[in-house]
Structure 1
Amino acid sequence: MSSEIERAQSFVQRLLANPALQQFSALQREEQIIQFLNVNAAQLAPTLTVDPYFPGRSWSQVFGILVQAIFRVTNQLLDPELRSIIGEEVSFAFVPFLKQQPYNEGRIREQVASFLTGLLRKADARRAFTGAYAALVFSSVDRYLDDIFERKSYIHFELTKVQRLRMGKEEIRGMILASLLLKPAIYVLAASGSSSGQERVAGTIQSQFAEKATEVLTRQLNLLPEQLIRSAVNSNISFSENRFIEATARMAAIFAARCRSYHPHMRVDRGADSPDKSWLSIARRNYRFYGFDVKMLDELYMIAAENGW
């Protein structure tokens, strides 16, 4: 490792050691550090482009070096954590309900882990995965699912009658979590640019691109059912554009957006709305902009309000 890379990693590790960041997921911390570098470029450049840091380098070069250092440091935690989530949190027991062929969950997990490890070398894929990954890390779907199945209201109807997922609650849970896990899979086709870490809305791709991505991914992830791949890909389409996208895709889109800035231990001021209720209230007012299913938001809002979330 060159001395320049060592200096970059040392600087990044000091930033990541900030106690205020420790409660966030690995990708949330990474995103916040990149945003910090962007916002404070004018103040940081005079210090970091001279001794003892990166003398002779321009700020754009220093920024690129630091971002790569952030990726390397984050991956030391992300890689084993992601494999743990794939191996222990996301059940693929729903696969036999959708794909009539020999089923080997171990091989499926390995194929998904290998695919994501390669995909997440792309900066844009990492940023697109930040919210979905936080939703998985903080088990955000789980606490709503019991209420959804007890209510047997709109979301339950969309999952079981419209999408026709003829399986139990645990298998449907696995389908939603797997859709979150593979949400950034569209970047297997999308060119990787210099992601700024700015928020992206749910409807980032058109249906025509989604079809092409689904074809490519169905070949690449050949152990997975096409229904899952479509759900993951379609979680990046606006519901306003396509009213027929899967309920699991719509759920993944909402939870990924909610958890992008999720703060697991946020303090709530007296008289203020709880965090989920507040976010869902804003999302309901702006559902067209974000491409969400407003009826899903309405039901999730009621659940959050009743539970004080």
Structure 2
Amino acid sequence: MNSDSVKAKAFIARLLQNPALKGFSALQQEEQIIQFLHANAAQLAPTLSSGQFFPGKNWSQIFSLLVGALYGTINDVLTPDLEKIVSRLNFTFIQLMQQTRLEQEKAAAQVGAYLTKLKDKPETRRELTGPFTAAHFGITNRYLEEIFLRKSYIHFELTKVQRLRLGVEEVRHFLDLNLLLKPAVYLFISGSQGQDRATGMVQNQFAERALSQLGKELKALPEPVLKSVVHGSVSFNDNRFIEATARLSAIFSARGRNYQANVKVDRGADTPDKSWFSTARRNYRFYGFDIKMLDELYKIAAENMW
């Protein structure tokens, strides 16, 4: 490692020690550091181009060095974390859905390899932030418990419309897999073609095209699972028939993007989840969410003070 790389890594390490980053996942921290570098470029450039840091280099070169160091540092945490999440996945739900035998190790290996691909490609790394954060903190777990206890709209959509004959644990593993693979759809879209930059949603036709390609690469996973994966990036406004698991994946992926663990709530203020779902309900059409799902999740968050 050359001296510039060492200095870049040390500078990034200091930025990551900021207490304000506590409670965020590795990819959230990465995004916030990049935003900080962009926002403070004018102030940072004179200092970082001095003899103490990177003499003779312009801001573009310095930024590239810092981001490279940031990716490497975050990957040291992210890679084992993803491996841990995949190792906890139980693919039994696929056997129950398909009534066929599935090789757990083969499926886990394919998913793990694909997550490495998603992590390493710039076009999907950023899209992984929300899904990874949701899976990392287990955001869906407590909501699924409530959903199965209440047996209301979301439960009906899962069990009667999508026709999942699964218990709450199997659905949890299905949803975690759905979340982790959700960014895969962006591998098959060139540039911003077919994608809404503001919402991240893709047109239904592009999702179907991605499904065809994804099936060739994740052969251990059946089509109903892969359909739910790609439909997690399709607006409910454009396709009213997308799976309940896909709709939940879209919602919890968005929630994960700005989720922060262990936030202290001021007296009289809304709790974090209640506040987020309240805002999401007002903007459900823009983001392509299922408003009835948001209504139920909002009630769950409010009643449990989440």
Letter in 2 for 1:207: N
Deviation at 1:44, TM superposition (A): 0.9
Deviation at 1:203, TM superposition (A): 4.9
Q: CA distance change for structure 1 residues 32 and 192 in 2, over 3 Å: closer, same or farther?
A: farther
Work out whether residues 201 and 289 of structure 1, in 8 Å CA contact, stay in contact via their aligned partners in 2.
no
**Which position in structure 2 is the counterpart of 1:80?**
80
Once the two structures are superposed, residues 26-82 of structure 1 have per-residue CA deviations (whole angstroms, 9 ceiling, x without a partner) of 111111111111111111111122322222222122212211211111011111111
Corresponding residue to 1:256 among 253, 256, 269: 253
**Which position in structure 1 is the counterpart of 2:102?**
103
Letter in 1 for 2:35: Q
Once the two structures are superposed, residues 220-275 of structure 1 have per-residue CA deviations (whole angstroms, 9 ceiling, x without a partner) of 00001111111111111111111111110110111111121111121212111111
**Which position in structure 1 is the counterpart of 2:211?**
214
**Which position in structure 1 is the counterpart of 2:9?**
9
Once the two structures are superposed, residues 179-221 of structure 1 have per-residue CA deviations (whole angstroms, 9 ceiling, x without a partner) of 001111113223579xxxxx96545211111011111111100
Q: For 1:201 and 1:226, how far apart are their aligned partners in 2?
A: 29
Give the RMSD, CA atoms, in angstroms. Answer: 1.7
Deviation at 1:87, TM superposition (A): 0.3
**Which position in structure 2 is the counterpart of 1:25?**
25
The secondary structure found in structure 2 opposite 1:120 is helix
Work out whether residues 202 and 236 of structure 1, in 8 Å CA contact, stay in contact via their aligned partners in 2.
no
Q: For 2:189 and 2:48, how far apart are their aligned partners in 1?
A: 32
TM-score (norm 2): 0.94
Deviation at 1:100, TM superposition (A): 5.2
Q: CA distance change for structure 1 residues 191 and 49 in 2, over 3 Å: closer, same or farther?
A: farther
Q: CA distance change for structure 1 residues 192 and 33 in 2, over 3 Å: closer, same or farther?
A: farther
Is residue 260 of structure 2 the alignment partner of residue 234 of structure 1? Answer: no
**Which position in structure 2 is the counterpart of 1:280?**
277
Work out whether residues 98 and 225 of structure 1, in 8 Å CA contact, stay in contact via their aligned partners in 2.
no
Q: For 2:251 and 2:69, how far apart are their aligned partners in 1?
A: 31
Work out whether residues 135 and 141 of structure 1, in 8 Å CA contact, stay in contact via their aligned partners in 2.
yes
Q: Percent of counterpart pairs with the same letter? A: 54
Q: For 2:236 and 2:246, how far apart are their aligned partners in 1?
A: 10
The secondary structure found in structure 1 opposite 2:120 is coil
Work out whether residues 268 and 274 of structure 1, in 8 Å CA contact, stay in contact via their aligned partners in 2.
yes
Work out whether residues 179 and 252 of structure 1, in 8 Å CA contact, stay in contact via their aligned partners in 2.
yes
**Which position in structure 2 is the counterpart of 1:115?**
114
Q: Compare 256-265 and 292-301 and name the one that shifted more.
A: 256-265
Letter in 2 for 1:161: K
After superposition, where does 1:60-209 map in structure 2 within 5 Å? 60-88=60-88, 90-99=89-98, 101-191=100-190, 201-209=198-206
Q: For 2:12 and 2:54, how far apart are their aligned partners in 1?
A: 14
Q: For 1:61 and 1:84, how far apart are their aligned partners in 2?
A: 35
Letter in 1 for 2:94: V
**Which position in structure 2 is the counterpart of 1:196?**
none
Q: Compare 208-217 and 161-170 and name the one that shifted more.
A: 161-170
The secondary structure found in structure 1 opposite 2:52 is coil
Letter in 2 for 1:299: E
Work out whether residues 203 and 291 of structure 1, in 8 Å CA contact, stay in contact via their aligned partners in 2.
no
**Which position in structure 2 is the counterpart of 1:49?**
49
The secondary structure found in structure 1 opposite 2:92 is coil
Is residue 297 of structure 2 the alignment partner of residue 300 of structure 1? Answer: yes
Work out whether residues 202 and 238 of structure 1, in 8 Å CA contact, stay in contact via their aligned partners in 2.
no
Once the two structures are superposed, residues 90-115 of structure 1 have per-residue CA deviations (whole angstroms, 9 ceiling, x without a partner) of 22111113345441111111111111
The secondary structure found in structure 2 opposite 1:45 is helix
Deviation at 1:12, TM superposition (A): 0.8
Q: Compare 287-296 and 94-103 and name the one that shifted more.
A: 94-103
Once the two structures are superposed, residues 99-141 of structure 1 have per-residue CA deviations (whole angstroms, 9 ceiling, x without a partner) of 4544111111111111111221122312111111111111110
Q: Compare 241-250 and 92-101 and name the one that shifted more.
A: 92-101
Q: For 2:123 and 2:38, how far apart are their aligned partners in 1?
A: 16
Q: For 1:41 and 1:145, how far apart are their aligned partners in 2?
A: 43
Q: For 1:190 and 1:72, how far apart are their aligned partners in 2?
A: 26
Consecutive unaligned residues of structure 2, counting only runs of 5 or more, are none
The secondary structure found in structure 1 opposite 2:303 is helix
**Which position in structure 2 is the counterpart of 1:37?**
37
